[in-house]
Amino acid sequence: MGDDHHEDDRPAFDPANVELPSKEPPLRETAPQSDFTMSQVSTGAVVALVGLALTFGIAFALV
């Protein structure tokens, strides 16, 4: 099997000589904390309604 770890590209780890990154990593932003536009909210609502209509519509049609 192939090894996708590319160990040759990594520097050797030396626990006695730990170097910190030169700059801080960027702040993470997760979806629940992001701002949404009304267009995105409307699209999500339409997709949810279509999904519910299909789910319950098919169930009621088969009864």
Residues 2-20 have a mean pLDDT of 67
CA dihedral 13, 15, 17, 21 (to 10 degrees): 70
Predicted local confidence at residue 4, as pLDDT: 62
Give 23-28's long-range contacts (Cβ < 8 A, gap of 24+). Answer: none
- pLDDT computed for residue 16 by the predictor: 80
Please tell me the predicted confidence (pLDDT) of residue 48: 97
With a cut of 80, say whether residue 46 has pLDDT above it: yes
Q: Say if 54 falls within a structural domain.
A: yes
Count up the domains in the chain and report the number: 1
Which residue segment(s) compose the domain that 46 sits in? 37-63
Q: How confident is the prediction for the chain on average, in pLDDT?
A: 79
Asked whether residue 8 is domain-assigned, the answer is no
Residue 61 or 28, more confident = 61
Backbone angles phi, psi at 12, to 5 degrees: -70, 140
Q: Is the confidence at residue 51, as pLDDT, over 60?
A: yes
Q: Tell me whether residue 63 is in a domain.
A: yes
Amino acid of residue 8: D
Q: Note whether residue 52 is domain-resident.
A: yes
DSSP, collapsed to helix, strand or coil, labels residue 50 as helix
